[in-house]
């Protein structure tokens, strides 16, 4: 090893030793403890005190979730000790908790031509395909898919086009309904891209991310983030935080 290489290695080691440790803050998404509200961020130096019969569910820096049941008293920093940080999951989560999240559209998907559909606040599902987004939707393999929209007093047709094969299918929402079955003649293909066209509105581009096996509950957020399924990520968090506010 040359003198220069040795010096660079030494400087790198010093920088690593002097670097501040990564924070181990957690985000609370479910709580039965009045003093710990869902949506709150707890710093790594905070202490969690849970009486018997209560619980909190937190998102750890790794993106995994963990449910902690009382009686329990411990430091936040000890919960995630040794875990890698998933900055992508944390950024999505912070954006949602700070602003309430997107309106079922992905970033950069704003449309300026034509008439927009009302954007529904979709509940979490492994089978619902919103027709108001551009982006990825995670679906369970073999499940019956539903095209979803905000309820309307009028019936309305929707066309779904496979961008690779050009195959087209159609479905119709009944008056007052928010869901219509995926076209029977159009078999959903994993990782395929579909154009979704409703009336004279701009088409939406949806990519189906098919999961052969659904993730364990603690891994839902990391899996949704990995596959780019942001509307479902936000819907899952909203449902958890709404349960125990």
Tell me, yes or no, whether 2 lies in a domain: no
Count up the domains in the chain and report the number: 2
Tell me, yes or no, whether 103 lies in a domain: no
Tell me, yes or no, whether 168 lies in a domain: yes
The pLDDT profile of the chain, 245 residues, written as one tens digit per residue, is 455 444 444 434 333 333 344 566 899 999 999 999 998 999 988 999 999 999 999 999 999 999 999 999 999 989 878 788 999 999 999 999 888 765 444 333 333 333 444 455 568 999 999 999 999 999 999 999 999 998 888 899 999 999 999 999 999 999 999 999 999 999 999 999 999 999 889 999 999 999 999 999 999 999 999 999 999 999 999 998 886 54
How many CB atoms sit inside 10 A of residue 244's CB?
A: 18
What is the C-alpha to C-alpha distance for residues 221 and 229, in angstroms, rounded to an integer? 9
Tell me, yes or no, whether 41 lies in a domain: yes
CA angle 94, 245, 26 (to 5 degrees): 35
Tell me, yes or no, whether 13 lies in a domain: no
The residues that bridge with 159 in the sheet, in sequence order, are 170, 197
Tell me, yes or no, whether 238 lies in a domain: no
Tell me, yes or no, whether 79 lies in a domain: yes
How many CB atoms sit inside 10 A of residue 166's CB?
A: 7
DSSP helix, strand, coil percent of the chain (3-state; round to 5): 25, 30, 50
Q: Where residue 202 sits, what CATH number does that domain have?
A: 2.60.40
* This prediction's pTM: 0.81
Strand ranges inside the chain, DSSP E: 26-31, 41-42, 47-50, 55-59, 65-69, 72-75, 128-130, 135-140, 146-148, 156-162, 168-173, 179-181, 193-198, 204-211
Tell me, yes or no, whether 24 lies in a domain: yes
First to last CA, the chain: 60
Q: Is the dihedral of CA 208, 226, 65, 141 positive or negative?
A: positive
Domain coverage including residue 78: 20-85
């Amino acid at each position: 090893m040359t003198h220069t290489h040795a010096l660079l290695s030494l400087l790198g080691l010093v920088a690593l030793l002097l670097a501040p440790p990564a924070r181990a803050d957690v985000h609370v998404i479910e709580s039965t403890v009045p003093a710990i509200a869902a949506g709150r961020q707890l710093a790594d130096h905070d202490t969690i005190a849970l009486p018997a019969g209560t619980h909190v569910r937190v998102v750890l820096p790794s993106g995994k979730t963990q449910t902690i049941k009382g009686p329990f008293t411990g430091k936040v920093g000890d919960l995630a000790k040794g875990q890698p940080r998933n900055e992508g999951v944390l950024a999505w989560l912070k954006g949602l908790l700070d602003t309430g999240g997107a309106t079922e559209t992905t970033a950069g998907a704003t449309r300026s031509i034509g008439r927009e559909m009302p954007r529904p606040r979709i509940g979490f599902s492994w089978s619902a395909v919103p027709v108001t987004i551009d982006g990825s939707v995670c679906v369970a393999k073999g499940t019956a898919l539903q095209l979803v929209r905000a309820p309307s007093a009028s019936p309305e047709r929707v066309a779904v086009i496979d961008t690779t094969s050009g195959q087209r299918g159609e479905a119709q929402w009944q008056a007052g309904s928010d869901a219509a079955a995926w076209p029977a003649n159009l078999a959903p293909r994993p990782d395929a891209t579909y154009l979704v066209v409703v009336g004279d509105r701009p088409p939406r581009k949806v990519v189906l991310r098919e999961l052969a096996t659904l993730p364990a509950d603690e891994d839902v957020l990391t899996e949704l983030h990995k596959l780019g399924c942001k509307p479902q990520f936000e819907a899952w968090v909203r449902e958890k935080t709404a349960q125990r506010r």
